[in-house]
Structure 1
Amino acid sequence: MTKEHYYLLLADDDEDDCLFFKEALDEITISTTLAVVHDGVQLMNYLKTNSTNLPDVLFLDLNMPLKNGLECLAEIKEDESLKNLPIIIFSTSLDSEIVDNLYLKGASFYIRKPGEFSKLKNVIEKALTIAPVNSFKQPERANFILQP
């Protein structure tokens, strides 16, 4: 069931990507509030500090300093208070071995960062429309990668 408003957390060290993400949220039809962290250590501190008020969805970049997205995903899934947090991997790479590993580690969905703003808007809106239908539960592997 789609909510009326989503509280989102974006973990990404690229300032331009963060700006485009925020601008895309401003132009989609789904109401959101966005918090941003810029590295894996900030992310884990944020989640542990706000464990009673977690975001509805975490958009997680893989290539971040201090602690990468894969390390964060593993740490989140091992933490009893965080393990049910829906995590959508949001990265520029599309290495099938890495994507398979992310699926096995429990990520909800995978989005390859599109180069075009219109595709970015489409894929974020798609994620926030499709994913909640099954309460952000991981889909079959064939449906793990969301396309714009």
Structure 2
Amino acid sequence: MKKNKPYILLADDDPDDCTFFMDALEDLSLDVNLTIVNDGIELMHYLSTRPEFLPDVVFLDLNMPRKSGFECLTDIRQIKEFELLPIVIFSTSQDTEVVNLLYSKGANFYVRKPGEFSNLKKVISKAITLIIRSPKAQATQDNFVLQP
């Protein structure tokens, strides 16, 4: 795996959402390495067996089988080797209480999955750009939710 390209890990159980994400990256002509895992157990196994190849950013769906994105975020932030791993929550929900809790648990950004492909491209590009510029920084609460 080339480390000169941004390395993105997408954790999402919905095959259509994964395809749209891949299509958006391709349409944006972003030169990245992308790995996809389909649930929280797979995500945690992937991270723990490849600590030398941590991604530059994890896009994490909240509603996944076996282990939710929220559980993964909590676990990731408790593991010293992963505590600064940039995590963008990528979900269909926009419950304010949930968003605030995710912020307090250490997610870097929150993205509500947009319904339109053009907005999906914009928000993915924005998230990747912000993370690459400042990988260890968490957004302020006012800037936590990314809009297209």
SS at match of 2:18: helix
Equivalent residue runs for 1:54-73 within 5 Å? 54-73=54-73
Q: Partner of 2:24 in structure 1? A: 24
CA–CA distance in structure 2, aligned partners of residues 22 and 28 of structure 1: 10
Amino acid at match of 2:121: K
- Cα deviation, residue 130, structure 1: 2.4
CA–CA distance in structure 1, aligned partners of residues 14 and 20 of structure 2: 10
Equivalent residue runs for 1:128-147 within 5 Å? 128-147=128-147
Q: Partner of 1:90 in structure 2? A: 90
CA–CA distance in structure 1, aligned partners of residues 59 and 108 of structure 2: 10
- Cα deviation, residue 42, structure 1: 0.3
Assess if the C-alpha contact under 8 Å between 2:11 and 2:60 holds in 1. Answer: yes
Assess if the C-alpha contact under 8 Å between 2:56 and 2:135 holds in 1. Answer: no
Structure 1 length-normalised TM = 0.94
Q: Partner of 2:14 in structure 1? A: 14
CA–CA distance in structure 1, aligned partners of residues 4 and 81 of structure 2: 25
Q: CA RMSD in A?
A: 1.3
Structure 2 length-normalised TM = 0.94
Q: Gaps (5+ residues) in structure 1?
A: none
- Cα deviation, residue 134, structure 1: 2.6
- Cα deviation, residue 129, structure 1: 1.5
Assess if the C-alpha contact under 8 Å between 1:4 and 1:31 holds in 2. Answer: no
- Cα deviation, residue 31, structure 1: 1.4
**CA distance 1:112–1:13, change in 2 (3 Å):** same
